[in-house]
Amino acid sequence: MAATAAPTSAVPEVAHDDPPRARRRLPVPVLAAGLAVLLLLSVVCAVAIGSAGLGFGRALGYLWSGLTGGAITRDELSAYTIVWEIRFPRALLAAVVGAGLSAIGVAIQAMVRNALADPFVLGISSGAAVGANAVLLFGAFGALGVWAMSTAAFGSALLAMLLVYAVANTAHGLTPLRLVLTGTAMYYGFSAVTTLMVFFAEHGEAARSALMWLLGSLGSATWGSLPVAATAVAAGMAYLLLSARRLNALAMGDETAAALGVDAERLRRELFLVTAVVVGCVVAVSGAIGFVGLMVPHATRMLVGADHRRVLVVAPLLGAVLLVWVDVASRVLLAPIELPVGVLTAVIGVPCFLLLMRRRSYSFGVA
């Protein structure tokens, strides 16, 4: 039996209503190298800038002594401590947290296939807040000393994740809508608990630090808080980069993913675990810094397109640079008062984001 399809020439070419979009995209290696250099400079600047009246040059000198093990005099000790023990780990932590939140934001948006998702959509941060505030307000886990806060935050973040997982899991695995709905419901539940704790807290100062934690702060950064968070973020980023192609397939839909040989159910479970660990570690040291994990993934896609092999290289660098500078601003703008980082990410991020959106034809996952 012959096919009845018309010969090729008889089938009319589909007319283009909109002109073909020229997509000028920056080459990723150039962009990544540029951002890496910028990140390095940003960290150096962040160390040199501050309200202690040290001066840019002197601060850089102390940073250099710290890095090379050079000698300093006794009078310089307090200034040196500010640079080496406070500002430098803090700038590094800002970079780690910014990179981690951005990478996880990318992964979560693909995982729940929702452009509005951010790393906290699964209720992890609000779970962590319950633990952290129990420590802040009622001195829970006092036996753990300085580690009480981060341990309690990480522990309750993981508990929250287990709860979300148990509720959202079905015979067909974690479906995107169920995940988002469960996470959002849990978010409200945990937030209610936190609010209640703040409400019944005995003194105002504790309530203030509780609020500060909810909005995110890098003020508690020390050399001690860095390694765990840095390791978790690095491992998470490595896993995501290796899964970049699978994330592309997942973003196209579960059925397409299956047809391309990707087990969407399994991938989503893996992503859930990675998200839990990375966000848990990040939130434990910095609180719930909002907006970075939502905005940076989109900003990155505007720059380099949707392919996760590009996005996952650029987004963490962009997020790191952003958060380093936001943290500098939070320290300096109203010094000696420190602004919550989460407020500033929004203040700086929203206009940049709206500007980018207007300039580029960018589609937010809505066809």
Partner 1 sequence: MRVEIDELSVEVAGARLVREVTLTAEPGAVVGLVGPNGSGKSSLLRCVYRASRPSSGTVRVDGADLFAMSPREGARRLAALPQEAGAEFDFTVDEVVAMGRMPHQRAAARASAEDAAKCREALRRVRAEHLRDRGFLSLSGGEKQRVLIARALAQEPRVLVLDEPTNHLDIAQQLEVLHLVRDRAGGPDGPAPTVLTALHDLNLAAGHCDLLYVIARGGIVASGAPMEVLTAELLAEVFGVRAHRVSHPETGAVQLLFDRLVER
* Interacting residue ranges for partner 1, rule: CB under 8 A: 1-6, 8, 11-12, 14, 17-18, 20-23, 109-110, 113-115, 172, 242-243, 245-246, 248-249, 251-256, 258-263, 301, 305-307, 362-363, 365, 367
Least distance (Å) from partner 1 to the CB of residue 12?
6
299 neighbors 356 (Cβ within 8 angstroms)? yes
Please give the Cα distance from 132 to 165 (Å, whole number). Answer: 21
- Tokens of residue 337, six digits: 């008062």
101 neighbors 278 (Cβ within 8 angstroms)? no
Q: For partner 1, which is the closer residue by CB, 90 or 268?
A: 268
Least distance (Å) from partner 1 to the CB of residue 109?
8
Least distance (Å) from partner 1 to the CB of residue 239?
10
Residues in CB range of 29: below 8 A, 6 or more apart: none
Q: For partner 1, which is the closer residue by CB, 21 or 74?
A: 21
- Tokens of residue 40, six digits: 């390095």
Q: For partner 1, which is the closer residue by CB, 306 or 329?
A: 306
- DSSP string covering 290-305: -SHHHHHHHHHHHHH-
Least distance (Å) from partner 1 to the CB of residue 5?
3
Least distance (Å) from partner 1 to the CB of residue 166?
20
Q: For partner 1, which is the closer residue by CB, 262 or 324?
A: 262
Least distance (Å) from partner 1 to the CB of residue 131?
33
Q: Which of 332, 353, 347 is nearest to 45 (CA)?
A: 332
Using alpha carbons, list the distances in angstroms from residue 171 to 254, 273, 341, 367.
15, 18, 40, 30
Least distance (Å) from partner 1 to the CB of residue 365?
4
Please give the Cα distance from 117 to 132 (Å, whole number). Answer: 23
Please count the other Cβ atoms lying within 10 Å of the Cβ belonging to residue 69: 6
Q: For partner 1, which is the closer residue by CB, 304 or 328?
A: 304
Q: For partner 1, which is the closer residue by CB, 246 or 331?
A: 246
Per DSSP, the chain holds a count of helices (H) and strands (E) of 15, 2
The secondary element (H helix, E strand) that includes residue 103 is helix 88-111
Q: For partner 1, which is the closer residue by CB, 46 or 311?
A: 311
Amino acid at 365: G
